[in-house]
Chain A
Amino acid sequence: MSDRRIELGTPTGRVWGHAIDLRDRAWSPTVAELRERLPRDGSWRERVGIDSEIQFSTVTDDPPPLRQLLAVAGRSRGTQTPYDAEIRRLAGGGDDDGRGSDGDRGRDDDHHRGRDGRGDHSAGSPDAEDLRTARQRVAETGTEVERLRERVAMLRGRLQARRETEAGVEAVQSDLDTAMRDLTEAETEQLAAEQRLTQICEAVRPVRDGRRESMRRADALRNRLCDTRDYLADTVSEPFAVAVEQFEAGDTSSLDGVTAHLAAVTVAETTEPVILAAGRFDAAERAANRLGTPVVLLSP
C-alpha cells in the first residue's frame, strides 16, 4: 500500500490506517470535529473560482451541486482557466469572491455611517439620513405655506365682509398683515428647502455612479466565476464519466448525487482524507481503494 495512511487522534488513543471505520465505535464526532483532526490539503481551495464553502472531501447524503464538485476536481488537477487573471483583477482585495449579496441581510451602504455620528461619510457626500431630512423639510415647509395661504385668504374674506358692513376693520387688518408677513417668510423657507433637496440629490449622484461601477464589477466577477467553473468542470468530464462507470451507475444523466460526489472525488488529485458519512460503502477498505484516498467512515 502507498503511504496513504493517516493518523487520527481519538479520545481513546491514536488510530492508524488508510481506511478507518468509526461507525461502531463509542466516539462519534461530528463532521466538523473529525475534520479538525485530519490533515488538510487545501492548496487548491485557495485558488480563485472555487466556492470554498463546499465540502468536497466529505461525502454525505446531501451532496453539493455537481458542477461545483467537478470544478473543484478540475482545479485540484492544477488546471488554469483563461478567466483566472481577470478574476484576480476583479476580486481586487481578494476577499470578495463575488458569490454575491447573501452577506448583508441588514442595512447596506451608508446607513450606518449616517447614524455613526462621527460624520465619516466621504468628503461631505450626503447619506440617506441627509436626503430623508431634506425631503421631510420640503414637506413641512410646503404644509406651512398651504396653511398660511388659507389663512390669508380667509382673513381677506373677513376684511372684505367687515368693510361692507362698515364694522371695525383694524383688528382684522392687523391679523392679515401679520399673516401675509408669515406667508412670505414661509415661502422663503420652502424655496430654501427645495433648493437644498435639489442640491443634495445632485450631490448623491456621484455616490450612486460609484455604486453602479461596483455592481458592474460584482456582476462581471460572478460571471467570470461561472465561466471558470464551467471550464474546469469540462476539463474533467471524460475522467468523470469513466469514474461513474466504475461505480456501475450507468449513464451520467440519471446520476444520483452521492455517486456523482464519489466519482468527482475519484477524479480529483488530492491526498486529503475523505469523510464518508453516506450509507454507501460497507467496508472502509473498499471505499479507500475505490476512491484512492484515505477514508474515514462515519454513521450518516
Chain B
Amino acid sequence: MLLVVTYSVEARTTLRNVCRTHEETVVRRFGRAALLAETTFAAFLACRLRVKHGTSVQVERTEPFNEFAAMEDDVREAAVAYENRETPSTPYGKFASGRDYPDPDEMRGEEL
C-alpha cells in the first residue's frame, strides 16, 4: 500500500479532500495520514500531493510484514517466547541473556 503522511495544515486538508473524493482508493484514514491501495491511480494522487506540498508530504510504500520471510527463526522465536514469559516484569535484555536469545543491541544495529 502507499502510506501518505502530512506535515502541514494545508497538506492535511488536501489529503482529507483527496480521501473524501476518491474513497475507493483509500484503505484506511488516520488524521493526518492515509493508506492507499497500491494502484497507479493512488501513485498518481501521491505524486500530485508531492508537487503541491513538497516536503510537507511523505510517501512510503508498504508491504504486509511477513515475519517468516523477513527474519531469522531465532529472532521470531525469541519474540514469541518473550511474550509468553512467566514473569511479566522481566525486561527483554535480561530475559534474552539468560536464555541465549538474540541480543537487543545487536538486533538494533542490524538492517532487516
Instruction: Answer whether A and B are interacting partners.
Output: yes
| A residues neighboring B (CB under 8 Å) | 100-101, 104, 107-111, 114, 126-128, 131-132, 204, 207-208, 211-212, 214-215, 218-219
Chain B facing A: main interface SS: helix
B51: which A residues are within 8 A, CB to CB?
107
Query: From residue A83, how far is it (CB to closest CB) to chain B in Å?
Result: 20
B25 at the interface (CB under 8 A from A): no
**Number of CB contacts from chain A to chain B under 8 A:** 56
What residue in chain A is nearest B57 (Cβ atoms)? A128
| B residues neighboring A (CB under 8 Å) | 7-13, 32, 50-56, 58
Identify the 8 closest CB pairs spanning chains A and B, nearest first.
Answer: A128-B54, A211-B7, A101-B9, A111-B54, A101-B10, A108-B10, A208-B7, A109-B56
Name the contact of A109 in the complex, choosing from B8, B12, B13, B32 (C-beta under 8 A). Answer: B8
- 22 of the cross-chain contacts (CB-CB < 8 Å) are A100-B9, A101-B9, A101-B13, A107-B51, A107-B52, A108-B10, A108-B11, A109-B8, A109-B55, A109-B56, A110-B54, A110-B55, A126-B55, A127-B55, A131-B55, A132-B50, A204-B55, A208-B58, A211-B8, A211-B55, A212-B7, A214-B8
- In the bound complex, how far is the Cα of B52 from the Cα of A104, in angstroms? 11
Name the contact of B53 in the complex, choosing from A109, A126, A212, A214 (C-beta under 8 A). Answer: A109
Contact of A107 with B7 at beta-carbon distance under 8 Å, contacts A215-B12, A215-B32 already known? no
- In the bound complex, how far is the Cα of B7 from the Cα of A112, in angstroms? 17
Query: From residue A90, how far is it (CB to closest CB) to chain B in Å?
Result: 14
What residue in chain A is nearest B54 (Cβ atoms)? A128
B11: which A residues are within 8 A, CB to CB?
108
Query: From residue A219, how far is it (CB to closest CB) to chain B in Å?
Result: 8
- In the bound complex, how far is the Cα of B56 from the Cα of A131, in angstroms? 12
CB <8 Å contact, A128 and B50? yes
Query: From residue B82, how far is it (CB to closest CB) to chain A in Å?
Result: 30
A100: which B residues are within 8 A, CB to CB?
9, 13
